[in-house]
Structure 1
Amino acid sequence: MWATPLARGEPAPAQPRAFASKPLRGSSLGAAQPQNTPRPLEDPRRAGEAAAAPVEGLAKSLQGVEVFDLSGKAVPVVDLWKDRKAIVAFARHFGCVLCRKRADLLAAKQDAMEAAGVALVLIGPGTVEQAKAFYDQTKFKGEVYADPSHSSYNALEFAFGLFSTFTPSAGLKIIQLYMEGYRQDWELSFEKTTRTKGGWYQGGLLVAGPGIDNILYIHKDKEAGDDPDMDDVLKACCS
């Protein structure tokens, strides 16, 4: 019951460098990688270390990155918080059972977000069609966008690869979610775009806006299922 299965005979993605994901507020972030190019994975023992670069450069690294709404319209990702405050969650992929749980955790706090004038957004590394399937299946009340080129994930240096996907804690969490009634969408999970690239990214979450450079909080998942502290998220967005 893993969130990103391999098809029979299909090689695993090239290994080896995983970048850190940890909540940061006014701290340092990894330097941006070229868009549309998956980052190599480094020694998994260094998964908790982040390359140094100023927070002020985060919005700059996202300039030129576009995501797509459910109608297929391209939207600059920074426009999602340019004129408003928003919580922007990044899913592992649209079929992921762990992401469905996180979507519910966020939706459960949506009344507080709306009272504070904060928009709830979810981005996934997949196609518009996959995003529509996720939206229809989960009835997610926030906005949903697709990032088929994974460019926002690369710019934010989210963890990528086997070492951050297949972990004991992630496996235990998946078992727990199945006991709670959550289910993986295996059809979406086995689509080629997920198996070969998109499904090997870990996600994260940021709170930003109004203003492109106004990044208030960021969490990068160190491994599958590494949820942010919701109290910290609410403090960043709604206090």
Structure 2
Amino acid sequence: MATETEPTDLKSVPNLKISRSENPEIELSFEEVENLHVFDQMGNKIRFGDTYANQKTIVVFARHFLCYMCKEYVEDLAKIPLNTLKDKNVKLVVIGCAPWKFIKHFKQETGYQYDMYCDPDRNIYKCLKCKCEANHTRKVVNKHIKSNALSGILKSTWRAMQFPNEWQGDPSQMGATFILGPGSTVHFSHLDGNSADQVAINDLLIEAGCDTVDFEKDQRVLHV
């Protein structure tokens, strides 16, 4: 008589296949990824796996902090009410590729109050196969981006002038989004194809089992 198969312990799986949108699956060594490190706004070194070890976590890998599309997306992430995440025991983490000293300023600019870290050497980005070349042939409608190209570039230029001759991340680096944890469980993955290819925030919340957010103050993202 057949017996019911025990569920696989994902922590024991050395290589997990992660789907990235319309692209083929990729293989990565989860043990390698979770043992890499990020930095908090005080420069403390934190094991990446510890950021999602104890609860389901939405992890957004941002582009450089001077990217106006990245900034406006994080501004909308900041609008997610704490109880929306807390009620479902979900955590939100943003990771940038800028030096850690820019975290505090970027959080002030965006109003983002959840966890934020930096991977300035982009070791985790590389391990997760995040793209460094934008695919502009794919049309993307991202309602979280409020500025047009001209006004967005002007805003980014003005922000860059506050820290002259300092890079806030590699401009060629694309972002990504994962829902991870607890432990080594992967619930969702998406590697951005270009700078506007972020996952709609309410789609992310649904994937994480959370209620959606009503962006009532901005009709452009009301039904995102």
TM-score by length of 1: 0.66
| Higher RCO structure, 1 or 2 (CA under 8 Å, sep 6+) | 1
The one-character-per-residue Cα deviations of 1:143-181 (angstroms, maximum 9, x if unpaired) are 1111111111101111103x44899869xx67437769x
For the pair shown, which has the larger CA radius of gyration, 1 or 2? Answer: 2
Q: Is residue 2:48 matched to residue 1:74?
A: no
Q: Is residue 2:157 matched to residue 1:186?
A: no
In the other structure, the counterpart of 1:96 is 67
> Relative to 1, partners in 2 of residues 1:166 and 1:137: Cα closer, same or farther, differing over 3 Å?
farther
Q: What letter matches 2:192 in structure 1? A: D
Of the three residues 128, 131, 134, the one matched with 2:100 is 128
Runs of 5+ in structure 2 lacking a partner?
1-15, 211-224
Q: 2:86, 2:40 → 1: CA distance?
A: 21
In the other structure, the counterpart of 2:11 is none
Give the alignment's Cα RMSD to 1 decimal.
3.4
Q: 1:28, 1:60 → 2: CA distance?
A: 14
The one-character-per-residue Cα deviations of 1:76-130 (angstroms, maximum 9, x if unpaired) are 1111100122111111011211111111222223341122121111110011112
Runs of 5+ in structure 1 lacking a partner?
1-25, 31-46
The one-character-per-residue Cα deviations of 1:26-70 (angstroms, maximum 9, x if unpaired) are 96448xxxxxxxxxxxxxxxx9634543xxx45334033100001
Aligned partners of 1:160 and 1:201 also within 8 Å: yes
Aligned partners of 1:113 and 1:238 also within 8 Å: no
In the other structure, the counterpart of 1:149 is 121
Q: 1:137, 1:165 → 2: CA distance?
A: 28
Q: 1:174, 1:192 → 2: CA distance?
A: 26
Per residue, is there more strand in 1 or in 2? 2
In the other structure, the counterpart of 1:115 is 87
> Relative to 1, partners in 2 of residues 1:52 and 1:146: Cα closer, same or farther, differing over 3 Å?
closer
Q: 2:126, 2:163 → 1: CA distance?
A: 20
- Indicate the percent of aligned positions where both proteins have the same amino acid: 21
Aligned partners of 2:192 and 2:198 also within 8 Å: yes
